[in-house]
Structure 1
């Protein structure tokens, strides 16, 4: 009985709305009939059954009863008009079947939908007006006055949702489109251009700025943020367009401006058909799948419909976190998460026998430059010998494709990490010469907010009140977002036929000082006033800026504008294998001097000192 009571209480408002609307249908028909017929029309007649049933079914089908009167708006009126029009067609058809329209004036059918629109729309709008006026004073006291930057589609959606939520009161729009000046969007005026944000914010007493330009380019977003910072008001932004398109966010979600919004590049256009064709229904292994790049690769691969995804990682916690996320987000994909060392031949053989992968993405590596500088044994063992162990096993198991995730630090390396990654590239190039497995190498630079990178370090330093440590005022690095890097890795995989070395277009390099200053400002502080920036000097093996290609590597564009192909320098397979065997023996003996010597022999450009880099065509300013 209690359950029945709850059910009745739940549906009661809807029932009341249905009764109201059917009453209005009856009244609209009577009014239309009496306007067209000089004689007195009775309050009830047989055709009214047809009118009520046909119109009621149309209203139910068009979803009229899903909306709430409290938030009635123009879309609801459009829904009523649509329902009245289709309802009239239904009524006409029903009356033709019932009586061939005998005794029914055609004028009644013409007047009926317009009268019905007025009778249904007016009560809804009056109810909303009454609710807004009743609670308006309370709400306005709690609302925060906001100025919205961007009067496009995202701004319109945002102001509509702000009106509904009642937490913020939009007092105006700013937009650089002069054609919008003086226009009103949901009653909110467009007051001027974005460059006037400081003056207009003072005039309208705005308490916060909301950036609603999800499609803004890097340069545009940097300009908008600088203007917001100059206003000294807090500001938030809607998500980037690609996050909305991919379903990760909606325009109405407000968030703090992140460093990715300023340094993240334009959305990359990918050939998703080719990527999906290469991955759908396949068995895939990702090594280092718990890391920053590895875990994002797993997410992208899982959503493309693979048959089985196997994740191998040495970190127990990273593997646990990766497994929980993948199983929750992709329940239809068969997922195996295995704890183990990719350099352990027994582990590799076991994983390949269990997973039988057709595609292998090798992202497992040590990458921290200062730590590896004095740990050559670990760098060679994990970055070089593990790659060799895995590559050999993949050839024995007839794996179709092997993708090595490499680094721009492998070019003219000034550190052990970069030299070890270059030697790993040579391993894959050598294997490609003699095996049917497609070996593809993808080289790129820093990714924003990856584990152990400068972004989380700066964030922690800012949280602790500083200082923020930068090694050199002129040091620069290439940056891309983790999703973009992984998407381009997948695209490069589809382009490779075997033996290729691809490099990703990293765009313009970013000064680390600029990165630090922007992160301080985004944290609501002023650089060198609230948070100090100090320079600690270049660390051993650290270069002022990185490169993408070696001088002896001729490069050319591929079919994708963001992916470049390097013509690899020749490598002797017969000489490489004995050197790798020597490295394995030296590793077991912990012979670091011997490993240093081998590393210098196989990567002769390795010079443990700061150096200068070359400029690629896509890095030059074209005038």
Structure 2
């Protein structure tokens, strides 16, 4: 009822505007010597003019839904509609009067047109100005935001802040690198200057949040902006990448907090889709560890290449169920088989391979937590060595075309049981490749941001609890890559497989863990060692300060991809390797020191972390 009443009032006012403006226009007509209006036209003609003008105006208002528009958001489109309606209501009756009587007043028409525009547009813009100013003044305690980017996206965000009373934030102005916009105003808000002014403006304007509203720029530019913004005390937020919004990935349509991934600043990976499709499309693909961080992302990125069947193998039923439901919702036509199995169970694996005959195998199942594996070395060997051995030998036995092992930089000159077992896994598949029709390759990379058990989720949890954030050593350095980025390169590396290679991914520049903690605290809107402390807990079992990507005997050669390289190890004696692995199997139930001694004999570069110089 309220809406219907409001609609009637708007229509009545717009019709009244036509009548009032016409009467005013007639009154403003220049008079003749006897005092009569210059254009009399007769009462009948004048009434006909008025009736025709109101009828045409009413038709135009209804056609353009003027009564359905919200006055609070009156803008350019509403102004254009008003001008069109006013022109029709003034010009068509004028033309009709001219045709009928041969007499019509040009000034009358102009005054009539101006009057309609003023009476229709005036109240609308006055109401909008009142709403804008009232909503800003009504909640002076709102958070203050500085918007980086005075383009269409930034303007839209500022406009929403001005007009949405429920938002607990208000814009104080813009930052934009376009010098033409500097010292200008947008929506009544100043454009303070370029990115060099961010720190100064944030302090003088008491900014609580900085919003990066540049969804179309490259990740490198976003990284540079984030590095400037993180020097302030303001919390950082960012508008999602437009491509992700269109594709439906990420926090679609919503701003999100700036993450550590934004600091990496690497532009999208160049992918050779034709070669990838060539070995995945219409093939049966098996992914072990499919419920894990890397395994589940492998599923997501392989699914669009239309494999004939995607086999999700994992030990944990909940994680396999989760990725299965996600894939069935996203790819309803994809043939998916979920397999609950342990890679240590050779009989179960042989049954899986015999039934499904996978042509491509991605082996991501592994124990990866370094300190836990130091305390449980037998379990690391069972899963990482014998689990890999089982899957690889089944792939060989059942004539799979390719086998891709997901490895780690911790396998290079390892100081941990976990790293050593992954190195042995690499060595085993390389020795197997020499006598197999299957192409066996390994892909080696460093830490992935946000994976389960990694440092980023732990830091975030500590920040949420108010600190302290614990860093093991002030000089500890790691290579980092996002999960989608790493998996995309893994799949691409698989297309280069000729057999026996260890592919090494370009991880970019190494990052200090301490700097990572500082950045996370600042990105969360806090000051390191003021609001949240950073403490040093000491290096954990099996850790080393610096990770490496190549062993001493490996030489590096390039591939067709600028971020994938090949390391070729020396010759491996298959007979000796099998003998050492059998010896390893016999000591699994013995003391950890005896297990480590066997590992050291098989991988001479393995040395305990405590024997490594800390520097």
Same fold (TM over 0.5): yes
Change (3 A) 1:127 1:568: farther
**Counterpart for residue 247 of structure 1:** 248
**Counterpart for residue 29 of structure 2:** none
Structure 1: runs of 5 or more not aligned = 1-8, 24-38, 44-52, 83-114, 614-623
CA contact (8 A) 2:477 2:512 kept: yes
In 2, Cα distance between the equivalents of 1:250 and 1:391?
Answer: 38
Deviates more, 1:505-514 or 1:181-190: 181-190
**Counterpart for residue 137 of structure 1:** 134
**Counterpart for residue 155 of structure 1:** 154
Q: Kindly state the Cα deviation for residue 256 of structure 1 after the two structures are TM-superposed.
A: 2.2
Change (3 A) 1:252 1:162: farther
CA contact (8 A) 1:285 1:360 kept: yes
Change (3 A) 1:152 1:400: farther
In 1, Cα distance between the equivalents of 2:117 and 2:361?
Answer: 62
CA contact (8 A) 1:221 1:262 kept: no
Q: Kindly state the Cα deviation for residue 388 of structure 1 after the two structures are TM-superposed.
A: 0.9
Q: How does 1:40-119 map to 2 (within 5 A)?
A: 71=73, 73-74=75-76
Q: Kindly state the Cα deviation for residue 78 of structure 1 after the two structures are TM-superposed.
A: 8.6
Q: How does 1:342-381 map to 2 (within 5 A)?
A: 342-381=343-382
CA contact (8 A) 2:72 2:127 kept: no
Question: 2:604 matched to 1:604?
Answer: yes
In 1, Cα distance between the equivalents of 2:603 and 2:122?
Answer: 76
**Counterpart for residue 550 of structure 2:** 549
Change (3 A) 1:320 1:197: same
CA contact (8 A) 2:132 2:163 kept: no
CA contact (8 A) 1:289 1:311 kept: yes
In 2, Cα distance between the equivalents of 1:582 and 1:335?
Answer: 39
In 2, Cα distance between the equivalents of 1:272 and 1:571?
Answer: 34
CA contact (8 A) 2:135 2:163 kept: no
CA contact (8 A) 1:140 1:169 kept: no
Q: Kindly state the Cα deviation for residue 292 of structure 1 after the two structures are TM-superposed.
A: 1.3
Query: SS in structure 2 opposite 1:326?
Result: helix
**Counterpart for residue 304 of structure 1:** 305
CA contact (8 A) 1:264 1:481 kept: no
Question: 2:229 matched to 1:225?
Answer: yes
Change (3 A) 1:561 1:125: farther
Change (3 A) 1:564 1:65: farther
CA contact (8 A) 2:195 2:225 kept: no
Query: SS in structure 1 opposite 2:362?
Result: strand
Q: TM-score, normalised on structure 1?
A: 0.76
Query: What's the Cα RMSD here?
Result: 4.6
**Counterpart for residue 209 of structure 1:** 210
**Counterpart for residue 94 of structure 2:** none
In 2, Cα distance between the equivalents of 1:251 and 1:190?
Answer: 27
Query: SS in structure 2 opposite 1:155?
Result: helix
Cα shift readout 1:371-408 (whole Å, capped 9, x = no counterpart): 11232211111001111100111122222211100000
CA contact (8 A) 2:182 2:191 kept: yes
Q: How does 1:567-586 map to 2 (within 5 A)?
A: 567-586=568-587
Q: Kindly state the Cα deviation for residue 366 of structure 1 after the two structures are TM-superposed.
A: 0.6
Q: TM-score, normalised on structure 2?
A: 0.77
**Counterpart for residue 290 of structure 2:** 289
CA contact (8 A) 2:373 2:379 kept: yes
In 1, Cα distance between the equivalents of 2:469 and 2:436?
Answer: 49
The total of aligned residue pairs comes to 561
Q: Kindly state the Cα deviation for residue 491 of structure 1 after the two structures are TM-superposed.
A: 1.2
Q: Kindly state the Cα deviation for residue 472 of structure 1 after the two structures are TM-superposed.
A: 1.6
Query: SS in structure 2 opposite 1:337?
Result: strand
Q: Which structure would you say has the larger Rg?
A: 2
Question: 2:486 matched to 1:485?
Answer: yes
